[in-house]
Amino acid sequence: MSNPTHLQYTKEHEWLTAAVDGVSTVGITAHAADALGDIVYVQLPEVGDTVTAGETCGELESTKSVSDLYSPATGEVTEVNQAVIDEPALVNSAPFEGGWLFKVRVEATDELLDADGYTAFTGA
C-alpha cells in the first residue's frame, strides 16, 4: 500500500493529517500494520488526556508482539476511534482510513516526514 501524499509521517510509523480547526487525526502506517501482523488489541489514550510528541500514549498488540504507540504530536486528545477498540483488525485492513486511532488538538509536533521521505525511510 502506498503512503498517501496528504499525510505526514514519523519515524515511529505514525501518520498525522493536516489540522482542521486545530485538530489532526493519528494512525499507524500500512508498513507498520503489516510488520506487526494481525492486530488483536489496541490501547489508546482517553479523551481529555494530554499526549506528548515522541512519547508513548498506548499500545498495539498483535499475535506475536506488543508495540508501544508513540504520539506524533503534543496536545489534548479530542476523540478516540471506538471502532478500532472494538475491532482491532481495522488497523490492518484500513490503516489510513477506518483504522485511524485518535484525534489530537495539536500544539506541537516532532519533526515529520512527507510521504516521499517516509517511503524512502522505510525502504519500500
Q: Which residues are at the interface with another protein (CB under 8 A)?
A: 34-35, 37-38, 40-41, 61, 63-64, 66, 92
Residues 15, 33: Cα–Cα separation, whole Å: 12
Residue placing its CB nearer to another protein in the complex, 41 or 124:
41
Report the nearest approach of another protein to the CB of residue 41 (Å): 4
Residue placing its CB nearer to another protein in the complex, 61 or 114:
61
CA atoms 11, 120, 33, 21: torsion sign: positive
Residue placing its CB nearer to another protein in the complex, 75 or 88:
88
Report the nearest approach of another protein to the CB of residue 54 (Å): 20
Contact by Cβ (8 Å): 81, 102? yes
CA atoms in the 13 A half-sphere facing the CB of 83:
13
Residues 12, 40: Cα–Cα separation, whole Å: 20
Report the nearest approach of another protein to the CB of residue 12 (Å): 19
